Amino acid sequence: MYKKTVLDNGVRVITERIPHTRTVSVGLWVDVGARDEHDLNNGCAHFLEHMFFKGTNSRSAQVIAMELDVLGGTANAFTSNEQTCFFATVMDDRLSRYMELLSDLFLNSVFAEDEVERERQVILQEISMVEDTPDERIHELFSAQLWGRHPLANTVLGSREVVGSMNTRKLVDYVERYYRPEKILIAAAGNLDHKHFVELCNEKFPGIRADEGAAGATRVMPAEQSPLRKVYTRPLEQVHMILGTYGLPVDSDDRYKLALLNTILGGNMSSRLFQEIREKRGLAYSVYSYLVPFADSGYMGVYMGVDRETVNEAVSLSTVEIEKIATEPVTEEELMNAKDYTKVTLFLANENTEARMIRIARNEFYFNRYISFDNVVAGIDIVTIDEIMDLSARLFRDKDFFAAALGPLENGDIDWKSLN
C-alpha cells in the first residue's frame, strides 16, 4: 500500500508497505544532479555524495562506516543527471537506528578540509578510471555531442578543474543553494508503517529549513543540435561506438511503446541487433540499444564494440535494422515476446525492496503520483504493431543520427553516409 505525506517544512515522505518482507529500503533523495550545474560547479553534487559519509559533529568517517556495517543490509549513494540519492536496506527492527544515522549525515556533516582533500584524490581517480574504461567513456563523449552547451552534457563526476579546486566553503554554499526542502524526498519501501515512518522523519529531520535568500537552479529544456559524428582516436584493441538520436522524456504518453521498441531493436539477446551483429556475423561481443530519458527530453542509443576492420560493416548493418524497424511492421511474435520480457523484468524488480523504493521515488519526481504495477502492465499490453511502427518512423526516419567512435581510427575511416 502506497501513502504520501508532506511535512510542515515541505519535505515529501512516501512509503510503500510490503508486509511479507523483513527489510525496509530507505532513500533520501534530492532533486538535484549534474544537469543543474554549470562550468564552475560541475561535479559538486557528486562530490557531496561522497562527503556526506566523511564525518559529522559527532561521528568520524570510520564510525559512520562501522555503524552502516553493523546495521547490515546495504548502504550506498548515487548521483545522476537529475537526482542525488542516499539509501540503505536494513532489517525492519533497525529502521529507527538507521534514520538517526541518516539524519546526522544529512544535517550535520562538517565537510572538513582534510577530508575534502582526501576525497578529492579519490574522485580524481574515479574520473581517471572512467577515462581508462572506453565502454564507459564513449557514453560521456556521445552525450556531450548530443547536448552541446546544455547542462545535460555535463558529466556526473565533473571536471578535473572543479574537483581540483573544491573546498568546504563551496560545498556548504552548494547545499544551501540547492538542497531546499521542496527538492527533498524521503522514500521507503518494505515492512513499515507509514504513520510511524512520518513520525520518524519529523523527529529526525527537523533541521531541514529553506534559506529564504537562496534560489535553486531553473532547468531549461534542451534544444536539438545538428547531428555530429566524430572519431576520438585512442590506441585501443576495439572501436567503441554509439549511434543515436533524440528520444522521449520520462513521462511521455508513448513511453511503453518506446520501451517495447527498444527491446525489439536491441534490448535483449533475441533482439534484432544482437542476432544480426553478434549471433549471425560474430562482429561484436557487446551490442545493444538503450534508452536515456530525462524530465523534459531523452535519447535512444545503440552501443557496439567491434574490430577496426569491421566497423563499417557493423555501422551499415545497424542502420539497415534501424531503417527496417521504421518502415516495416514488427511481427506479432516479436511484439508479444517483447511484452513478456518487459513484464518479467518489471515483476522481478517487484521482488526487491530497494527497486520498489527507487520506483516510487521516480514516480513522484516525474509524475507526481504513484503508478501501480497493474497500470504499467495495462499500458504495455495495449501497445499495437501499428503504434510501434508509427513511433519508430517518427524517431528514425526524419532524423540524422549522431555518432561517436573511440578507438584506433582516424577521421575519415568510417563511412557515415548510411546514417543520413
Question: Cell numbers 573544491 correspond to what residue?
Answer: 166
The x, y and z cell numbers of residue 298, run together, are 531523452
Beta strands 284-293; 2-6: pairing state: unpaired
- Write down the catalytic residue from 16, 37, 49, 321: 49
| Residue 417, amino acid | K
Residue 49 annotated among the catalytic residues of the structure: yes
End-to-end CA distance of the chain: 49
Element (H, E) at 376: helix 373-381
CB atoms within 10 A of CB 235: 6
Secondary structure string (H, E, C) spanning 76-144 = EEEECCCCEEEEEEEEHHHHHHHHHHHHHHHHHECCCHHHHHHHHHHHHHHHHHHHCCHHHHHHHHHHH
Q: What is the DSSP letter of 180?
A: -
Element (H, E) at 327: helix 311-327
What is the set of active-site residues? 49
